[in-house]
Structure 1
Amino acid sequence: MSKVIEIIEELVAPIVDELNLELVDIEYVKEGKSWFLRVFIDKEDGIDIEECGIVSEKLSEKLDELDPIPHNYYLEVSSPGAERPLKKESDFTKSIGKRVFIKTYEPIQNEKEFEGELTSFDGETVVVTVMIKTRKKVIEIPYNKIALARLAISFS
């Protein structure tokens, strides 16, 4: 499965670069009996459906040429949404000052899930300020211990 994602990344990267877009993530998953190839793209001020359509069309042409996936699948190209995943170091750097949700592989200060403001990132440690009742607490999370990270929506 990771080989398919690798191939798709090689195919789609020049397309998004040409359009001045950012490749956020690629998913290749089976849901029920169907396979889905999902490509998430974005840009500074957000993307629109036309841009998704252009990327989908150009990527479809490349996929038809090379045929790297042996069975039927659905191709979806879309925005990562408001709770976009943070996967690369650059995602963390760009998200300083924003609200994030982070899940770790192992407990840190007896917790594995943290939600708060991403206050800094130095390439090795992610620092998140969380609210515990009325108190702010600073949590330092080693980057290599992060299992999942995404932007979080605040409803306050």
Structure 2
Amino acid sequence: MSGKLTELEAMVVPIVEALGYRCWGIEYLSQGRHTLLRVYIDHDDGISVEACAEVSRQVSAVLDVEDPITGDYTLEVSSPGMDRPLFTLEQFADHVGEQAKIRLRVPYEGRRNFQGVIRGVEGDEIILQVDEHEYLLPIDSIDKSNIIPRF
């Protein structure tokens, strides 16, 4: 995890929790002059547009004072949704048996993209079954992962 992301999490998570929500995860994407900070919030009763606006106002106020992001940035606050991204080992463990798409930062066995069933967590690795093969994917090598919703 990058130092900037760790710094932002240390600022944002307490704000989200103080407002009564869970911070599901944070994405920090900086590409040239375009920076995006995406904050996913969750609650047992779901997330409304008003909840996102409330968290956005509070997080924005703190970021304006602390100024951890140089230059202009876009702040997005949303629920994780049905195709929720997975950030932590605990989140993967909570979704055992579900289909997921995982993209790695660097290729593993010649590929970066995997789609399969989450079978569990072992140490700091995710067990993903793709067809008849099980892969152990280190959480630190995962660039992006999402649940594939079932309808």
**Number of equivalent positions:** 147
Corresponding residue of 2:134: 139
Query: Which is further off, 22-31 or 8-17?
Result: 22-31
For residue 93 of structure 1, report the CA deviation from its aligned partner.
0.9
Q: Displacement of 1:154 after TM fit?
A: 4.6
**TM-score, structure 2 normalization:** 0.77
CA distance in 2, matches of 1:54, 1:22: 14
Match of 1:106 in 2: 107
> Does 1:60 find its partner at 2:60?
yes
Q: Which amino acid aligns with 2:147?
A: L
**Equivalent residues of 1:37, 1:74 under 8 A apart:** yes
Q: How big is the shift at 1:111?
A: 4.8
Equivalence map 1:41-60=2 (5 Å): 41-60=41-60
Q: Secondary structure at the match of 2:71?
A: coil
Following TM superposition, by how much is the alpha carbon of 1:84 offset from its aligned partner in structure 2, in angstroms?
Answer: 2.3
Q: 2:89 touches 2:124 (CA, 8 Å); kept in 1?
A: no
Letter in 1 for 2:22: L
1:2-151 aligned at under 5 Å gives the runs 2-18=2-18, 19-30=20-31, 34-104=34-104, 105-108=106-109, 111-131=111-131, 137-144=132-139, 146-148=141-143, 149-151=145-147
Shift of 1:48: 1.7
Which SS does the other structure have where 2:70 is aligned? coil
Q: Where do 5+ consecutive residues of structure 1 fail to align?
A: 132-136
Question: Is there any run of 5+ residues in structure 2 with no aligned partner, and where?
Answer: none
Q: Aligned partners of 2:45, 2:53: CA distance in 1, in Å?
A: 17
| Runs of 4+ residues deviating >4 angstroms | none
Q: State the one-letter code of the partner of 1:121.
A: V
After TM superposition, the score normalised by the length of structure 1 is 0.75
- Residue 153, structure 1, aligned to residue 138, structure 2: no
Kept after mapping to 1: 8 A contact 2:23/2:39:
no
- Give SS of 2:37's match: strand
Give SS of 1:51's match: helix
CA contact (8 A) 2:25 2:40 kept: yes
8 Å Cα contact 1:24/1:42 also seen in 2: no
2:89–2:126 contact (8 Å) kept in structure 1: no
1:116–1:46 CA distance, 2 compared to 1 (3 A): farther
